[in-house]
Chains A and B, each alone.
Chain A
Amino acid sequence: MTTHASADHAHSADDHGHHELSFIQKYVFSTDHKVIGLQYFMTGVLMGVLGALASYVFRMQMAFPGHAVPGFGLVTPQIYNQMVTNHGTIMIFWFAMPVLIAAFGNYLIPLMIGCDDMVFPRLNRLSYQIFLFSAVLLIASFFVPNGGFGGAWTSYPPLASNPIYNQTPYGAPMWLAAVALEFVAFLLGGINFITTLMNARAPGMKMYDIPMVVWMIVIASILFMASVGPLIAGAAMLFFDQTLGTGFFDPARGGDPLLWEHLFWFFGHPEVYVVLLPAMGIVAEVLTVFARKKLFAYRTVLWTAVATGVLSFFVWAHHQFVAGIDPRMANIFTVTTLLISVPITEMSFVYIGTLYGASIQLSTPMLFAIAFIVEFLIGGVTGIFLGASGADIYFHDTYFVLAHFHYTFVPIAVIAVFAGVYYWFPKMFGRYMNDTWGRIHFWGTAVPFNGIFIPLFYTGMAGDHRRTFNHLNFPDLARGDLIFWREFSTVSLLIMLAFQVIFFVNFFYSMFRGKKAPANPWNANTFEWVAASPPPHGNFVTLPHCYRGPYEYSVPGHSSDFWPQNEPAPKT
């Protein structure tokens, strides 16, 4: 380690003059992309645990209404709203995005394109600091008078815009400010990712030689950059409505609540693909390595990702079919919504095509990657019903919608993230995670996950509304079978949460005591496996040169079944 580090410092002495870094320089004000990536990862996972605990509280209320929740206490309607709102907000903005885009993006992009760091390391540092501040602000909003915001993660006015309605005069503006700051952080990070990919690739790495996960994170960053502007403008207006008494969105003051819905969902729907694409990229990397086969149709995957990104800007109003939008617009948005399933389906077929005829190794990351495709498929197919404006009138805001988007988001933010963590853990810490416990964790995650959400499709079709505090107040919903399935779903959640303990123990134990891993434990082709494990400051001893695409596995006539990108072709 030390010899590597000092050799590397000599190599890049012009930017990094200092040798002995103090703790503060190394961890608090570090500009190293790997440290920032891990900080994003740890903060994101911590917030994810908070979001999961919130789901525990309100799922217990759903299954056993009126009973005190063990370890929490009695859930009042106000607390229930806060929990649901902040579960959604945290899981999307403080867990899925930081882990999938910021953590994997920061850690992987410079390593996978063969450079020593991001092109704007200080901007990167600022991005994380703003993100951390926004997370602290969100958590602080629980402890102000009247508690945190409870108007759902979409924050629709007039409920959100007027403290008389939402009863959280401090919680609501703090929530909104935290969300806006979080967007600023990701905007800074995204600009960094795009610029780094375009300017700092290893010599010889052409556009079609870039690993898919890097492409996906960068396309997601472009989508985020293009879509977030309206929402930041909208957030400023909503903030004025809440604090200064303006009437942008409050109909009682002449405003238009539909305008907020448009501003929100113009961002909100591309956001779905902002988190989906990096997950697709992670799965592509894991699939090819453990299938020992070239990614089927690299260019198709890339261009369908671009097509998905473009189409994702044309579908936002399908969230508003029953909100009173112009019915003629509903026709247009139904068509575009159904159209966007085409590129995503194509991508799924390409992944299945990659598995066809492959010599598959069912390692832990591979299990998670395959589970991603299977589970995401259910999420996608149930979306077809909701995308059709006629069916959506019935399904809108029921648990069917909730089950549908959890079948998309959980594979993205949980299953694909686990695939990525098990796969890149040896690179991050130089040690393997325990494989047996990894498999146990896999089955304990993938099976109870279905147990949570398949019953919710059913209760949703029976009429359970997602904003209801206590279904037993409605005679039609107090039926025995519905009560059973709600309890079934909650118990499945408890099982799934319990199995995550295995992951955390495995993660932290392996970090210090796990089996030592070599630099390239999976026999993979991409550049990050050329660097030492864990990579030193500056990443590579000598910056690599790219000779071929990232997925040259089992090439006929080549001596081994993998052919790293930095290995020159043998002279003939």
Chain B
Amino acid sequence: MSQAADAHHGHLNSAGEHGPHHPVSYYVKIWALLLVLLVISIAGPMLGNKVLTLVTAFGIAVVKALIVAAFFMHLNIEKKFVWYMLLAMLLAVVMFFLGTAADVMKYDGSHWTKPTSYLYTEEFKKAFSGGEEHEGHDADEFDSKALPNVPYGETESHKAQGSHKSEGHGLPAAEPRHGT
């Protein structure tokens, strides 16, 4: 293909069979495009509109990921089945999340509790935000000393520290399940 590409890669590849060999400037252009998108994804959430924030933060992230996969990972010159496999894997991620979320995202249910997880989550939230008054917080304010230091199997000792309405086991009472 072009001189630049061959010089850049050092070794001669049998070009043509593996699709077009692009010059470096081609990749620089895509990088510039990604930078532009990055600027948009930072500027968008600053405007404070909820919908705009979602679209610019997550929507543009998806677009950027697709561009990287297509051009830098050469999926645009691969056979179609590689795309299908990539999409199937993404679907598997979603499915794994759906199957697992019901168990892992909560720390209490109708008939079960995870007291330690609950304590940790609550204490972490408090340590992270530094109380209810502060709104604008960032990672610099994180105080690791405020985290509970729960020794193995001694979660009961922390029920006194819990600032929430404790019900003996350090948790708000689980809602009884009504009906079927």
Contacts and interface: CB of A to CB of B under 8 A. Distances in A.
B150 A254 contact: yes
B100 A252 contact: no
A219 B104 CA distance: 31
Contacts of B104: 256, 258-259, 262
B115 to A, nearest CB: 9
Given A258-B103, A259-B100, A326-B109, A252 B116 contact: yes
Contacts of A314: 95
B103 A325 contact: yes
Contact of A226 (B92, B102, B121): B92
Contacts of A316: 99
Contacts of B117: 251, 254-256
Interface stretch (B31-39, B49-57, B64-72, B81-89): B81-89
Contacts of B92: 226-227, 313
Interface in A159-204: 162, 164, 198
Nearest to B110: A327
A230 interface: yes
B142 to A, nearest CB: 17
A505 interface: no
Interface of A: 162, 164, 198, 222, 225-227, 229-230, 251-256, 258-259, 262, 266, 313-314, 316-317, 324-326, 328-329, 333
Interface string B147-159: 0001111010000
A253 B116 contact: yes
Contact of B112 (A227, A230, A254, A324): A324
A259 B97 CA distance: 11
B79 A164 contact: no
Contacts of B116: 251-254
Interface string B120-138: 1100000000000000000
B73 to A, nearest CB: 14
B88 A226 contact: yes
B96 interface: yes
B114 interface: yes
Nearest to A255: B117
Contacts of B151: 252
Contacts of A254: 116-117, 119-121, 150
A128 B140 CA distance: 47
21 contacts: A164-B152, A198-B79, A225-B85, A226-B85, A226-B89, A251-B114, A252-B150, A254-B119, A254-B120, A255-B117, A256-B103, A256-B104, A256-B117, A258-B104, A259-B104, A313-B92, A313-B95, A325-B102, A325-B103, A326-B102, A326-B103
B171 to A, nearest CB: 14
A164 to B, nearest CB: 7
A169 to B, nearest CB: 15
B82 to A, nearest CB: 9
A222 B82 CA distance: 11
A317 B102 CA distance: 12
Contacts of A226: 85, 88-89, 92
A251 B102 CA distance: 17
Given A252-B150, A262-B99, 6 more contacts: A252-B151, A256-B103, A256-B114, A256-B117, A266-B99, A329-B103
A324 B85 CA distance: 33
A385 to B, nearest CB: 23
Contact of B102 (A225, A252, A329): A329
Contacts of B88: 226
A142 B50 CA distance: 57
Interchain residue pairs A-B with the least CB separation, the first 3: A254-B120, A326-B102, A252-B152
A227 B96 CA distance: 10
B167 to A, nearest CB: 20
Contacts of B112: 324
Contacts of B109: 326
B79 A252 contact: no
Contact of B96 (A162, A230, A253, A328): A230
Given A222-B85, A252-B150, A326-B109, A262 B103 contact: yes
Contacts of B81: 198
Nearest to A158: B152
Nearest to B123: A254
Q: Which of B79, B152, B153 has the most CB of A within 10 A?
A: B152
Nearest to B116: A254
A262 B114 contact: no
B120 to A, nearest CB: 4
Contacts of A251: 114, 116-117
A285 B89 CA distance: 30
A153 B100 CA distance: 21
A381 B116 CA distance: 42
Contacts of A329: 99, 102-103
A316 B98 CA distance: 12
Contacts of B102: 325-326, 328-329
Contacts of A230: 96
B11 to A, nearest CB: 14
A226 B151 CA distance: 38
Contacts of B96: 230, 262, 266
